[in-house]
Amino acid sequence: MNIFVGNLSSHTTDRELQQLFEPFGKVTSARMVKDKFTHRPRGFGFVNMEERTPGEKAVEELNKKMVHRQSIVVREATLTESRNID
């Protein structure tokens, strides 16, 4: 399951993103999206979870969770979002 994570602090790392989702199941990838010119974080990222049920549980429990003093947005990613990140 591909999950969109938004409203992330610029201090959030790929590893932190992965660790946030690992309690729910196997994370196959976690990536903060960066601007292709400045290489600065764009405030969102994507997490791929191996199985759908744990992914749905993660979305339910992590949406609106405070991370680095910001309430994050967590939802299933759309196909368009996943393809147009660069």
Report pLDDT digits (tens) over 63-83. Answer: 999 999 999 999 999 877 665
- The pLDDT value recorded for residue 50 is 96
Domain boundaries, the chain: 2-79
Query: Using one digit for the tens of pLDDT, what is the confidence trace for 7-38?
Result: 999 999 999 999 999 999 999 999 999 999 99
Kindly report the CATH class assigned to 2-79.
alpha beta
pTM of the model: 0.90
Q: Structure tokens of 80?
A: 């368009």
- The pLDDT value recorded for residue 85 is 57
- Give me Rg for the CA atoms of the chain: 12
Q: Structure tokens of 6?
A: 């938004």
- The pLDDT value recorded for residue 78 is 87
Using CA atoms, how far apart are residues 77 and 19, in angstroms rounded to an integer? 19
